[in-house]
Amino acid sequence: MKKLVVVLMLVLGVVSFANWTVVNSGEDRESNTNNRQPGVAVLYDDRDGKYDIYRFTMSHGFWADKGSVLDKAALNEKIFGVDAYKVLKYKGKKCINLTEQEAVNILNAIDYKESTGY
Distance CA 93, CA 24 (A): 21
Q: What is the pLDDT of residues 90-115, one digit of tens each?
A: 999 999 999 999 999 999 999 999 98
Distance CA 101, CA 41 (A): 16
| Nearest in space to 24 (alpha carbons), one of 80, 88, 77 | 88
What pLDDT band is residue 12 in, cutting at 50, 70 and 90?
very low
Distance CA 25, CA 14 (A): 26
The whole-chain average pLDDT of the chain stands at 83
Residue with more model confidence, 15 or 37: 37
Distance CA 8, CA 107 (A): 39
> For 17-80, where are the alpha helices, taking DSSP H only?
72-75
Residue with more model confidence, 57 or 113: 113
What's residue 31's pLDDT? Answer: 81
What pLDDT band is residue 73 in, cutting at 50, 70 and 90?
very high
Residue with more model confidence, 36 or 78: 78
